[in-house]
């Protein structure tokens, strides 16, 4: 399953029309680079209108009380669609647990290890976001983290699903899926690259040329 890692409504609408996407993820970095985002609520509502499935919106507060207040505000925008993205920390686990008890869906993000992923799932996160590219930046592969997390979720019948993000290359997508990710959230440029194969395009041209020649 794929989510789109974007906050651009036009891009989201176009790519959802392909029928291959099931949700959207955003984060403060993506939104800070989005020239069209002058008001967060308005932008997220535009993203919701352009898509289907869960839309993740990340908390930026740092204290438990402020994070819970921010989460309640985001959730109220569209309770059936908003997934509150909670940065991993001890406070983040408290917030995740409290929100889960209230029926608010959460996506625990910035997860870099199996231990963090397991704790996030135990706290009640609906999704656990493992960052493939950033794990590689530390000098090791994300694949074992994903595999161990998936095995543990299944062994203990925990309800959390694994989202793999920080996707930088096509190989990251393949490795994440093979390792057991429930969802890979892909940037628009990676999704476009997944479309193209020179042999596919060559074959289509050959078939069309043959038909046109016959029709003359």
Task: Give the pLDDT confidence score for residue 36 in this predicted structure.
Answer: 86
CA–CA gap between residue 94 and residue 208 (Å, rounded): 59
pLDDT of 51 higher than 90:
yes
> Which entry of 85, 199, 213, 216 is annotated as an active-site residue?
85
In the residue annotation, 85 being an active-site residue is answered as yes
CATH architecture of 2-215: Alpha-Beta Barrel (3.20)
Question: Residues 70-78: what's their mean pLDDT?
Answer: 97
Which whole-number Å values give the CA distances from 167 to 98, 130, 172, 190, 203, in the listed order? 30, 10, 6, 8, 29
Tens of pLDDT along 133-172? 999 999 999 999 999 999 999 999 999 999 999 999 999 9
Domain ranges, ordered by start, for the chain: 2-215
pLDDT of 54 higher than 80:
yes
Task: Give the pLDDT confidence score for residue 214 in this predicted structure.
Answer: 83
Determine contact, residues 12/44, Cβ cutoff 8 Å.
no
């Amino acid at each position: 399953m794929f989510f789109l890692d974007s906050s651009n409504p036009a891009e989201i609408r176009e790519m959802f029309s392909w029928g291959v996407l099931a949700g959207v993820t955003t984060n403060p970095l993506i939104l800070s680079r989005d020239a069209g985002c002058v008001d967060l609520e308005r932008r997220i509502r535009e993203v919701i209108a352009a898509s289907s499935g869960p839309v993740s919106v990340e908390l930026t507060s740092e204290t438990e009380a402020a994070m819970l207040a921010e989460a309640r505000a985001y959730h109220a925008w569209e309770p059936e669609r908003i997934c509150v993205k909670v940065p991993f920390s001890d406070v983040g686990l408290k917030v995740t647990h409290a929100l889960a008890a209230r029926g608010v869906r959460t996506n625990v993000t910035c997860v870099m290890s199996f231990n963090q992923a397991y704790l996030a799932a135990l706290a009640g996160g609906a999704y656990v976001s493992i960052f493939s590219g950033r794990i590689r930046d530390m000098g090791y592969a994300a694949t074992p983290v994903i595999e161990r997390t998936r095995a543990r979720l299944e062994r203990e019948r925990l309800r959390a699903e694994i989202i793999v993000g920080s996707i930088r290359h096509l190989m990251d997508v393949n490795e994440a899926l093979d390792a057991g990710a429930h969802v890979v959230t892909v940037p628009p440029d990676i999704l476009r690259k997944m479309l193209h194969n020179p042999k596919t395009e060559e074959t289509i041209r050959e078939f069309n040329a043959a038909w046109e020649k016959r029709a003359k």
